[in-house]
Amino acid sequence: MESEAQSLFGEAARLASAFRLAEPDLHRPSMDYQECLAALMEDLQEESIAAEDVLRRLVEKAEPGLHQMIRPRFFGWVIGGSHPMGVAADFLTSAWGQNAGNHTASPAAASFEKVAATWLLSVLGLPDCSSVGFVTGATVANFTCLAAARGEVLRQVGWDADAQGLFGAPPITVLIGDDAHTTIFSALQFLGLGHDRVVRIPTDQQGRIRADKFERTLHDLSGPIITILQAGQINTGAFDGFADLIPLAHQKQAWVHVDGAFGL
């Protein structure tokens, strides 16, 4: 006899397949945010609802407000669609319900992460000793790497930010191009470095940092320095001139952070 879980999972798979296989009349939502909110908003009920009814109501209320991101005609922003194999694996990941916070709690989940990290370094041609962290998106990626930068440039001048915090710490100068992505500024804000305390460097028409302006600005600086470069400007795809800029930064013992979200 089919269990409740089997029936529920089967129905969820059927509904998911129907969404992906149907030929939509529209490639964008038929309802905007306010309409979706009105459709979804209701008082929290005191009685339970049958699981099958929850699935049905979820689909009925949600699908009119979904973009067809899985379709080849979706060209919005830089969002990619999900692959059926990835979706199937994600089903299993959710069904397994593992807390993957450490190697002991879920050895398999920790192993998957290590293997994926090894493959990623191979694909990108990065050194095997590189550290890899899987994050939620560009903001947290920049936050994580800039946190490492913050700690290291302060360590080099004798300040342990992890132990002592930032109160009384030597000031850090952050050099950034005028066309840096917005996620960088969010990360700097979260890290206590400030989104307005940066030194902005003029860029060319493709969004690349101008090497002459970079060198002139860097020449007058001292103390801890973080430079932020781009591999792939979001609108043009342009790369900053790494061959010129990185040696200049290293002459000042500056940490070089590369935002490679769109071009790495």
pLDDT attached to residue 152: 96
Rounded CA gap, 46 and 43, in Å? Answer: 9
How many domains does one find in the chain?
3
Give 2-54 pLDDT, tens digit per residue. Answer: 688 899 999 999 999 999 888 776 667 889 999 999 999 999 889 999 999 99
Q: Is the Cβ–Cβ distance between 238 and 207 less than 8 Å?
A: yes
List the Cα angle 228/231/237 in 5-degree steps.
Answer: 125
pLDDT digits (tens, 9 = 90+) for 194-242: 988 899 999 999 999 999 999 999 998 999 999 999 999 988 999 999 9
What are the residue ranges of helices labelled H in 43-106?
Answer: 51-62, 84-96
7-16, 44-53, 71-80, 123-132: the lowest-pLDDT one:
71-80
Give me the phi and psi of 146, to 5 degrees please: -70, -25
- Is the same domain home to 107 and 144? no
- Do 177 and 252 fall within a single domain? yes
- For residue 42, is it within any domain? yes
Enumerate residues 6+ apart whose C-beta is below 8 A from 25: none
- How does pLDDT run across 141-168, given as a tens digit for each residue? 999 999 999 999 999 999 999 999 999 9
Cα–Cα distance for residue pair 113/115, rounded to 1 Å: 6
> Would residue 75 count as lying in a domain?
yes
Whole domain around residue 225: which residue ranges?
A: 138-259
Look at residue 1 and tell me whether its pLDDT is greater than 50.
no
Predicted confidence (pLDDT) per residue in 246-255, tens digit: 999 999 999 9
**Residue (of 61, 51, 63) closest to 9 by Cα position:** 51
Same domain, 45 and 81: yes
pLDDT at 247: 97
Residue 230's DSSP bridge partners are 259
Residue 264 in domain: no
Residues 58 and 113 in one domain: no
